[in-house]
Amino acid sequence: MGEGSTHTPQGVGHGGREVGHVPVLLKEAIDFLAIRRGGTYIDATVGLGGHSYEIARRLGAPGHLIGLDKDPAALNVARARLAVGEQQTDWPEVTLLHRSFAEIANDQRPATIDGLLADLGVSSLQFGDPARGFSFQAEGPLDMRMNPQAELTAEQVVNQADEVTLANLIYEFGEERRSRRIARAIVRSRPIRTTAQLADVISAAARPMNQAERRIHPATRTFQALRIFVNRELDDLRVLLEAAPQLLKPGGRLVIISFHSLEDRIVKDAFRDGVKQGHYRLLTKKPVTATDEEVDRNPRSRSAKLRAAERI
């Protein structure tokens, strides 16, 4: 899903690289995976296929790459990118599956995976399409579903949840201190049908009081909270992290790229617990972050944090 990626729809270029698409922390992720030729690897958030392509290129013909994503549109882009590699003679088997990584334990036998990568968040394919409703930068329906087949939309949450529930989820998933004020304004302004309407309601209710608050749009944290809630992002992450020790072979690598403190805290705690239980050896004492050069090329990489562990 790759929140730090950038995407424009010009198509796939030479070497399987899509013009305009830059996977976040690509070199670091590949280095920590320490890809074994002929192994079996999972890209749990295949997104637009940037990380997957580089994994496949190193696996070679005996290997197997399994890519998962909730978003069928992203899978189509990844499929086109990886098809470029299929023209090569030394190319692994590639399986792309339309599903959440929370279902991963149902699909794989224990101790069969050499490495697992998850690049969390939202891709710019999703952010950049107003019809998906992820961004307040352009007007669109209040959708926010990564999987368009899922039942719950942000519009349903915004217009049907009671004020206390709204305030709690905005505070919990958006870390928004003004959650009660925002929830009250939302309830009073119903019905709210578009991203622009919601952003205007939030902006009026939560005007920045100091310079620190002025650095980000007043609606940023509320939109994050709704997106996380609608897509069960933190619940799914916990399920993935719980399943990972059983799936990985001894020596297998787990690499997670997160984009906000809620995700990073869950990953950090899971890795710490895994060490205590004798599952893991930590490869990153502190999270790895993007270089200044990468941030200049791709500003969204600024918030990316990579943590990695090895199965004992």
Provide the pLDDT confidence category of residue 178 given band limits of 50, 70 and 90: very high
Share of the chain above pLDDT 70, in %: 91
Residue 208 pLDDT exceeds 90? no
pLDDT tens string 251-267: 999 999 999 999 999 99
Provide the pLDDT confidence category of residue 207 given band limits of 50, 70 and 90: confident
d(CA 296, CA 255): 24
| Residue 21 confidence (pLDDT) | 59
pLDDT tens string 87-134: 888 999 999 999 999 998 887 889 999 999 999 978 878 888 999 999
| Residue 305 confidence (pLDDT) | 98
Calculate mean pLDDT across residues 141-153. 97
Calculate mean pLDDT across residues 169-173. 98
Residue 216 pLDDT exceeds 90? no
d(CA 239, CA 156): 25
Residue 19 pLDDT exceeds 60? no
Provide the pLDDT confidence category of residue 215 given band limits of 50, 70 and 90: confident
Could you tell me whether strands 113-119 and 64-69 are parallel, antiparallel, or unpaired per DSSP bridges?
A: unpaired
pLDDT tens string 224-249: 999 999 999 999 999 999 999 999 99
| Residue 271 confidence (pLDDT) | 98
Distance of CA 137 to the CA centre of its chain: 20
Q: What domains are there in the chain, each with its CATH number?
A: 14-125+233-311 (3.40.50.150), 140-229 (1.10.150.170)
Residue 175 pLDDT exceeds 90? yes
Higher pLDDT, 203 or 8: 203
Question: What DSSP assignment string belongs to the chain?
Answer: --TT----TT-B-GGGPBTT---TTHHHHHHHHTPPTT-EEEETT-TTSHHHHHHHHHH-TT-EEEEEES-HHHHHHHHHHHHHHTTSSS--EEEEEES-GGGHHHHS-TT-EEEEEEE-S--HHHHT-GGG---SSS--BS---SSTT-S--HHHHHHHS-HHHHHHHHHHHH--TTHHHHHHHHHHH----BHHHHHHHHHHHS---SHHHHTS-TTHHHHHHHHHHHHTHHHHHHHHHHHHHHHEEEEEEEEEEE-SHHHHHHHHHHHHHHHHTTSEEES-SS-B---HHHHHH-GGGGG-EEEEEEE-
Provide the pLDDT confidence category of residue 278 given band limits of 50, 70 and 90: very high
Calculate mean pLDDT across residues 282-290. 98
| Residue 212 confidence (pLDDT) | 64
Residue 179 pLDDT exceeds 90? yes
Calculate mean pLDDT across residues 43-63. 96
Share of the chain above pLDDT 90, in %: 83
Higher pLDDT, 130 or 18: 130
pLDDT tens string 57-90: 999 999 999 999 999 999 999 999 999 998 888 9
